[in-house]
């Protein structure tokens, strides 16, 4: 069974967007994953089809209504639907390669894209939504975050990447950032490719790559480095 993504959004025309190109686009054509983008506004019942209202307690902006979103969610994912229900949210658990890999081995995902100030908390609790963040910054809507998540998942689906190995050697897979990469020309603006990579000695090349991956991780991501070394949190 292929990976099935359903996205709920006020801007469903943003999908598949970039996911219709390159690897993801070819994979969708080949039936390795499918996408349904649903207009949340279709589930509004008021005369003006409102999906949002002012925040309880006052304050700036608007909040997406629980009743409208619940109707939309229940319509696309009934009680038998085993797919995780995700809410893109800057308050969520930061997305990492581990969660991406889990999602890629599952049946798909139902992804709710927030807008305005976000969604009514009661919906999150009542539908047990998993809040997922793509980083510590605020986007104007959940759609670009959903595209990022789907891109990361789709490339891991069986049959999507040409060279299956390339998924395993990448940043984060072994708890480290990836080593630097080089290709022709051998000399670029007086910078040669590191000699060891041209040596043909596979053991030496592997050792160099590991040392470089460790150096980069130590320098750039002390959090990953500590986890890799198994350090206990302070």
Single out the segment in contact with ligand SAM by CB under 6 A; choices: 39-47, 71-79, 109-117, 166-174.
Answer: 109-117
Q: Show the DSSP H helices in 7-92 as ranges.
A: 22-29, 66-76
Burial of 139 (0-12, 13-18, 19+ CB in 10 A): middle
Is residue 101 within 8 Å of residue 158, measured between CB atoms? no
Residue from 26, 49, 75, 91 that binds ligand SAM (CB under 6 A)? 91
Instruction: Give, for 226, the enclosing helix (H) or strand (E).
Output: helix 222-229
Residue from 72, 109, 142, 152 that binds ligand SAM (CB under 6 A)? 142
Check binding of 135 to ligand SAM (CB under 6 A): yes
Check binding of 133 to ligand SAM (CB under 6 A): yes
Give CA–CA dist 174/165, Å, rounded.
13
The DSSP result for 71-112, as a single string, is: HHHHHHS-TT--S-EEEEEEEEEEP-HHHHHHHHTSSEEEEE
Check binding of 151 to ligand SAM (CB under 6 A): no
Check binding of 139 to ligand SAM (CB under 6 A): yes
Least Cβ distance, residue 66 to ligand SAM (angstroms):
14
Least Cβ distance, residue 82 to ligand SAM (angstroms):
23
Check binding of 145 to ligand SAM (CB under 6 A): yes
Number of amino acids touching ligand SAM (CB under 6 A)? 19
- Which residue is listed with tokens 């963040």? 133
Give CA–CA dist 168/132, Å, rounded.
23
- Residues within window 5-44 making contact with ligand SAM, judged by CB under 6 A: none
Residue from 85, 115, 179, 209 that binds ligand SAM (CB under 6 A)? 115
What is the binding site for ligand SAM (CB under 6 A)? 88-91, 113-115, 117-118, 133-135, 137-142, 145
């Amino acid at each position: 069974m292929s990976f099935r993504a359903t996205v709920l959004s006020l801007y469903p025309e943003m999908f598949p967007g970039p996911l219709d190109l390159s690897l993801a686009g070819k994979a969708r054509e080949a039936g390795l994953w499918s996408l349904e983008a649903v207009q949340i506004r279709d589930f509004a019942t008021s005369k003006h089809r409102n999906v949002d209202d002012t925040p309880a307690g006052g304050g700036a902006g608007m909040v997406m209504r629980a009743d409208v979103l619940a109707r939309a969610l229940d319509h696309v994912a009934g009680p038998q639907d085993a797919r995780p229900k995700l809410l893109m949210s800057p308050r969520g658990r930061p997305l990492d390669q581990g969660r991406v890999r889990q999602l890629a081995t599952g049946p798909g995902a139902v992804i709710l894209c927030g807008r305005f100030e976000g969604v009514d908390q009661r919906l999150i609790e009542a539908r047990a939504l998993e809040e997922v963040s793509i980083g510590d910054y605020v986007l104007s809507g959940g759609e670009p975050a959903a595209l990022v998540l789907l891109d990361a998942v789709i490339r891991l689906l069986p049959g999507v990447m040409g060279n299956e190995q390339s998924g395993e050697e990448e940043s984060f897979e072994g708890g480290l950032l990836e080593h630097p990469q080089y290709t022709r020309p051998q000399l670029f603006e007086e910078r040669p490719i590191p000699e060891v990579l041209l040596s043909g000695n596979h053991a030496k090349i592997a050792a160099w790559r590991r040392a470089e991956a460790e150096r980069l991780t130590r320098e750039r991501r002390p959090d990953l480095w500590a986890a890799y070394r198994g350090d206990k949190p302070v």
